[in-house]
Amino acid sequence: MTKVERAAHVLGRLEGLYPETPIPLDHTDSYTLLIAVLLSAQCTDERVNKITPALFELANTPEAMALVPVEAIREIIKPCGLSPRKSVAISGLSKILVEKYDGRVPENMELLEELPGVGHKTASVVMSQAFGEPAFPVDTHIHRLAQRWKLTNGKNVVQTEKDLKRAFPRESWNKLHLQIIFYGREYCTARGCDGTVCPICKELFPERKRGVKTKK
């Protein structure tokens, strides 16, 4: 198959497997989604969803969170890991949202990336899932699968994002990035498949004998 054919095959197969793509992180609005995505760095969505109810009961708006001591935020989010850094970021970005944006999450990628603790991937998730703007956030699952499916050279996540945006129609990005994540968790896991085991890997590369070593 050519790269174009592989991309079309992936798109069709994932649409068949995951016609619905619920957002994995529990939230009620753009602010609570932003906080949940920030917490998900180096932490599973499942664990984040266990922690955020207590956090959002304490404060679920920028105005309320800005008044909460960093230590209190840190105590709740400890199970997520990186709690010192994340608690400072949550407090800091909440104060900025109040002071600069009237308590609203900006619908702008560059402004989001200026907030403490908000990198490109987090901003991309918020833009796509909260505001419906086409984006292609690349996490470890997507980076791994894109390499196994030869849709990117895998130099880094920045290059992977560019390659996937070129490979797939813009209107598919928001749903597709979730579909790939779901597939990576269910079928094409880091240890369960090396590019030769899962259904899509075998369909794309039936003659492949050697596993694919993921580039970081």
Across the chain, which has 216 residues, the per-10-residue mean pLDDT values are 96 97 96 97 94 97 98 96 95 98 97 96 96 93 94 90 97 96 95 94 94 83
Protein fold of 30-129? Endonuclease III; domain 1 (1.10.340)
- Rg of the chain (C-alpha set): 18
Q: How many CB atoms sit inside 10 A of residue 146's CB?
A: 25
34, 59 Cβ separation under 8 angstroms: no
CA dihedral (16, 210, 138, 51) in degrees, to 10, reads: 80
- The secondary structure of residue 188, as a DSSP letter, is S
Instruction: Give pLDDT, residue 216.
Output: 74
Determine the pLDDT at residue 214.
83
In the three-class reduction of DSSP (H, G, I as helix; E, B as strand; rest coil), residue 27 is classed as: coil
Contact 204, 13 (CB under 8 A): no
Tell me the pTM: 0.89
List the domain boundaries for the chain. 3-21+136-204, 30-129
> What are 5-61's pLDDT values in tens digits?
999 999 999 999 999 999 999 999 999 999 999 999 889 999 999 999 999 999 999
The share of the chain scoring above pLDDT 70, in percent, equals: 100
Identity of the residue numbered 22: P
- Of 86, 121, 163, 194, which residue is the catalytic one? 121
- Annotation marks residue 121 as catalytic: yes
CATH 1.10.1670.10 is the classification of domain 3-21+136-204: yes
pLDDT per residue as tens digits for the range 55-68:
999 999 999 999 99
pLDDT of residue 42: 87
- Whether residue 86 lies in the annotated active site: no
| The predicted structure's pLDDT at residue 155 | 81
Rounded to the nearest integer, the mean pLDDT of the chain is 95
Catalytic residue selected from 26, 139, 150, 175: 139
